Amino acid sequence: MNEYVFEVQLVAAVRVHGVDENVARKVVSSVLGSPGTEEVRMANENNAALGRNALVTDVDFSIGNSPALSKADKRKSKLGR
């Protein structure tokens, strides 16, 4: 089997309840880590069940910039004041 490496752009919306925006922003990266061995194994099993003859061997994530507050949440914050 051949090995291929794909880079994809990923956009995630992470909803956080916190005492303030700065504290909430600091915890975002804690949930954006690479999947563990078990998650990769389950994805491979599901792909095999669908007849997809390919195995995911590794996944790495990097966060390119600071988490930005979504436009919807900015609007809510201004309305709630």
| Cα angle, residue 75 at apex, residues 74 and 77 outer, rounded to 5° | 65
Which pLDDT band holds residue 42 (cuts at 50, 70, 90)?
very high
The two tokens of residue 23 are 């504290």
**Cα–Cα distance, 24 to 6 (Å, whole number):** 31
Chain mean pLDDT for the chain: 84
Looking at residue 76, its pLDDT comes to: 56
Please determine, for residue 12, whether its predicted confidence score (pLDDT) is greater than 50: yes
Looking at residue 81, its pLDDT comes to: 46
Contact between 44 and 55 under an 8 Å Cβ cutoff? The reply is yes
**Cα–Cα distance, 80 to 78 (Å, whole number):** 6
Burial of 8 (0-12, 13-18, 19+ CB in 10 A): exposed
The model's pTM = 0.64
